[in-house]
Structure 1
Amino acid sequence: MTKVISVFNQKGGVGKTTTVVNLSAALGKKGKRVLIVDIDPQGNTTSGLGVDKRQLNSSIYDILINELSIADILVETSSTNVFLVPSNVELAGAEVELIGLNNRETRLKNALENIKDKYDYIFVDCPPSLGILSINALTASDSVLIPIQCEYYALEGVSQLMDTIKLVKKSLNKDLEVEGVVLSMFDGRTNLSIQVVDEVKRYFKGKVYGTIIPRNVRLAEAPSHGLSVMDYDPKSKGAEAYEELAEEFLEWSEEEF
């Protein structure tokens, strides 16, 4: 059974795209078929997987606004078993355009219905905002994966994020759950990182993955080459961490679902 997971945090720079790209690549290497839906107008996941945003004939915009089929837009990525519905800057206008359309909150959900059974996991990379694009993602999803960086103000905005999830659960998707919390950008040399880990674990009791993603140069370099860290430098600390996270993710995910 396919699981649809939104990767969401309305705070920018928390490792959202890094997690989408590398967790998907690690799962793909383990034989899982993964679809990534980039619903962020910045399109960082799209370029991070080596797809040129400027050369796209169609994108997620056409699915949401023009009701094109996902099958017509699908792109194969450089990562094994990982496919992509790309995004580009055109999507920025969709927030306004969607307001006047019927079923504006369920357009992504409806589009995914026809292709869901072809994949084990579908990850939706959300924009760092609480607008209609994120609402579409949360409405279409079974669960939410929340990346949080091990830095000062890590939990700032988290209660707002949880309120949004509750709101969507109440009015649009009663089955929406928190999949788990991924801690990233960890620096074991600082007390602050260690304090943040403790604080996040207290807040999200039992929902924080034991695997913590470290600060890693290779992890930061990989997107500029259009590759996941698994394909860029599989022996790096970043790649090893995402391998471990994928194993833990599968354990949790298949237990719950």
Structure 2
Amino acid sequence: MTTPAGQTETGGSTPIGEEALRAAKVLHPDENFMPRPTKRRVLTVANQKGGVGKTTSTVNLAAGLALHGVKTLVIDLDPQGNASTAVDVDHRSGTPSVYEMLIGEVSLVDAAQVSSQSENLLCVPATIDLAGAEIELVSMQSRESRLKEALSAEALDQLGVDYVFIDCPPSLGLLTVNALVAAHEVLIPIQCEYYALEGLGQLLSNIELVQKHLNRTLSVSTILLTMYDGRTKLADQVTQEVKNHFGEVVLKTIIPRSVKVSEAPGYGQTVLAFDPGSRGAMSYLDAARELAERGVEGKQE
């Protein structure tokens, strides 16, 4: 008996069919375009603790917005260059990159590349040259504002982007300070694990210092819970603790622990490109939509 794709003869959906439908929602978003923000949003994705999903969240949120009609720019400020790898842009030594942009040798427009995964997704890559940038920046004039100067309203207007995501290194050094000075908002990924809140106080203190002395418009607008494992009580406890502490800035969407999310960077892809029907891809897509909807509801600063 002939049945629609993804349906069994009894009318229920098969797992393969459900995944195909989810993939179609990601790859053919004609009816699911996300709203553009009321005004351009510049978000720094920061947490000095490593392995919490900073880069993964940066590239997948950016890809989710880009695939659904919102022009988005990723600034890879981590010398490891993982965000550049994930969105598939060239970041070999000698490529115009965020390093040359910070020291004033190239402009934002010259350094930005279009990702192969979406014409709406751009990236300023990080090359190995960025590794020594913090030492060079120390002696430079306006060393904390180099990125802000490069990301001027005029330069961003030339690219026509609605969102800028700045992926920080896992430290609280001068590169992260530059990211905080250049942004309007901070997005903090927090993993649903035992040491989730360790070191978070230090990050929040640094954000307050930047607010006080360098960027009065900065605010922690978004908390994203990552690596959620529903099999453990601990994950629920951490989730509840974070929601109690941060309230409405915590996104309702929680990113599950996912093999596909972990595998995708090894193939030079976001999880939305690598396996668009996976739970991880759909979770990041939902988080991107939630972020986009907040952008038109006036919830950001």
TM-score, structure 2 as length reference: 0.83
Check whether the contact 1:16–1:125 (CA below 8 A) recurs between aligned residues: yes
| Residues 1:86 and 2:99 aligned together | no
Cα separation, 2, equivalents of 1:56 and 1:46: 14
Which region of structure 1 is more displaced relative to structure 2, 81-90 or 199-208? Answer: 199-208
Q: Deviations over 1:194-242 (max 9, x none)?
A: 1110111122122111100001111111111111111111110001101
- Partner secondary structure for residue 58 of structure 1: coil
Report the Cα distance in structure 1 between the residues aligned to 2:150 and 2:187, rounded to whole angstroms. Answer: 21
Q: Percent identity over the alignment? A: 50
Q: Name the counterpart of 1:112.
A: 151
Question: 2:27: which partner in 1?
Answer: none
SS in 1 for 2:42: strand
Residue number in structure 2 paired with 1:44: 82
How far does residue 120 in structure 1 lie from its aligned partner after superposition?
0.3
Query: Larger deviation: 50-59 or 158-167?
Result: 50-59
The superposition leaves residues 145-174 of structure 1 with CA deviations (integer Å, 9 ceiling, x where unpaired) of 000111111000111111011000000000
- Helix, strand or coil for the counterpart of 1:187? coil
| C-alpha contact 1:151 1:192 (8 A) present in aligned 2 | yes
* Conserved 8 A contact 2:146-2:178: yes
Q: Distance in 2 between matches of 1:142 and 1:67?
A: 25
Matches within 5 A, 1:215-230: 215-230=257-272
Query: Which residue of structure 1 lines up, in the alignment, with residue 242 of structure 2?
Result: 200
- TM-score (normalised: structure 1): 0.97
- Aligned mates of 1:181, 1:194 — CA distance in 2: 16
Give ranges in structure 1 of 5+ residues lacking alignment. none
| Equivalent pairs, count | 257
Shift of 1:66: 3.5
CA distance in 2, matches of 1:207, 1:111: 28
Specify the alignment match of 2:194 in structure 1. Answer: 152
Q: 1:51 to 1:226 in 2, by over 3 A?
A: same
Summarize deviations over 1:117-159 as a string: whole Å, max 9, x none: 2110000001111111111110010000000111111000111
Which moved further from structure 2: 67-76 or 14-23?
Answer: 67-76
- TM-superposition CA deviations, 1:56-95 (whole Å, max 9, x none): 4221110112341011111111222100000022111110
Q: Which runs of 5+ in 2 are unaligned?
A: 1-38
Give the alignment partner of residue 170 of structure 1, picking from 209, 212, 221: 212
**Greater Rg, structure 1 or structure 2?**
2
- CA RMSD in angstroms comes to 1.2
1:233 equivalent in alignment to 2:275 = yes
- How far residue 249 of structure 1 moved from its aligned partner, in angstroms, is 0.8
CA contact (8 A) 1:28 1:79 kept: no
